Structure 1
Amino acid sequence: MQMFERQFVRVNEWLVLLILAAMTVIVFTNVALRYLTNYSLIWAEEVARYLMIWMTFVGAGLVLRAGGHVAITNLHDLVPPPVKRALRIVVAMILLGFFAGMVWFGHDYMTRMGRQLTPATRVPFHFIYAAMPVGFALLIVHFLLVLRHYVATGGSADDRPAGGG
């Protein structure tokens, strides 16, 4: 399982990196063309925007693993350790339910609205809106991989011991 997790995270990291690199190249090229030739690519801003959407959803699971999402811990900090663990279990169930719901609603939205075309590139919005169900499915996988450690300690994947857990 640790091998799968390492490979899964590595592929996810590379995907985010490639999306960021593509977005950077497109925006830099467009700015350079605009200032050097007074010509800009009509599709650059649109494609960069959609790549940013994809990067956000694809990268959300990596941020979750690192404990980088906003967390309100006031109640968690006030209760004794046994209650903290129960509270983390409840939070984990709510998060998994929310993630699954967002996969469902994202897929539904993608299928209903996907026949429209983007203005500049004429790509079906289906490909843009797919970022939501794909991103939340990745969030589910990431969260399941760190769930035991989260429930046991409340920590992120980054503070797990080298052997996993």
Structure 2
Amino acid sequence: MQQRMIGIAGLLGLLARGALWVAGIALVAMTALVAAQVFARYVVGAPLTWTEPTSILLMGWFILLGAAVGTREGYHLSFDVLLMVLPQRIVRVLHSVSDLVVAGFGAGMAWFGFELLTRTWTASMPTLGLPGGVAFIPLTLSGVLIVIFSAERLARRAAGLKTARFGDEVTEE
């Protein structure tokens, strides 16, 4: 089981790295668009109407994809003081409960994000002309990734492997 999990973890590591690349590109693009908007408005005197909504769309991508990868890496919000004094067996159980709760939250993001996506798809974003549902693609995708990455954390723990940290090799505990 460990060898199979190591192979799956490698593939999911590539998926996480790809998500980080998309998030990074979205962050750089958003920064460039905001700079272009400031230049166009205050130097040229002709504001670009499409840069603000585009920047907001890009912000959704880098925040939500970053959150999904943060889930895989175990960087989500947690309170670890109690875990320092508990036996390792109980700590593993609590980590698993945490991963299940996070997976449930991700499932809710995916489910309700997809519902929002489909219900707003026929509306149009005024300045961009894109379907309104485009704004909910990162929410839905991020929810799916959070479920996948939480399941990976549970499977790794069950297989006796360390949970993922970005750039780490997959090793036994």
How would you bin the TM-score normalised by the shorter chain? Answer: 0.7 to 0.9
With over 3 angstroms needed to count, the CA separation of the structure-2 counterparts of 1:118 and 1:52, relative to structure 1, is: same
* Residue in 2 that maps onto 1:128: 135
1:128-147 aligned at under 5 Å gives the runs 128-147=135-154
CA deviation map 1:51-107 (0-9, x unaligned): 101211122122223333211235434533222222222222222222112211111
* Residue in 2 that maps onto 1:28: 35
1:12-91 aligned at under 5 Å gives the runs 12-91=19-98
* Residue in 2 that maps onto 1:110: 117
With over 3 angstroms needed to count, the CA separation of the structure-2 counterparts of 1:149 and 1:156, relative to structure 1, is: same
Distance apart, 1:152 and its partner CA: 8.5
Whole-angstrom CA distance in 2 between matches of 1:158 and 1:112: 37
Whole-angstrom CA distance in 1 between matches of 2:44 and 2:168: 54
1:97 and 2:104 correspond: yes
Kept in 1, the 8 Å contact 2:34–2:52? The answer is yes
Whole-angstrom CA distance in 1 between matches of 2:32 and 2:167: 36
* Residue in 2 that maps onto 1:163: 170
TM-score, length basis structure 1: 0.83
How many residues are treated as equivalent by the alignment?
Answer: 164
Kept in 1, the 8 Å contact 2:122–2:131? The answer is yes
Whole-angstrom CA distance in 2 between matches of 1:10 and 1:149: 18
Aligned residue among 115, 119, 122 for 2:126: 119
1:8 and 2:15 correspond: yes
TM-score, length basis structure 2: 0.79
Whole-angstrom CA distance in 1 between matches of 2:77 and 2:154: 17
With over 3 angstroms needed to count, the CA separation of the structure-2 counterparts of 1:150 and 1:30, relative to structure 1, is: farther
Unaligned runs of 5+ in 1: none
Amino acid at match of 2:118: T
Kept in 1, the 8 Å contact 2:110–2:139? The answer is yes
Unaligned runs of 5+ in 2: 1-6
**Alpha-carbon RMSD:** 2.6
Whole-angstrom CA distance in 1 between matches of 2:20 and 2:119: 30
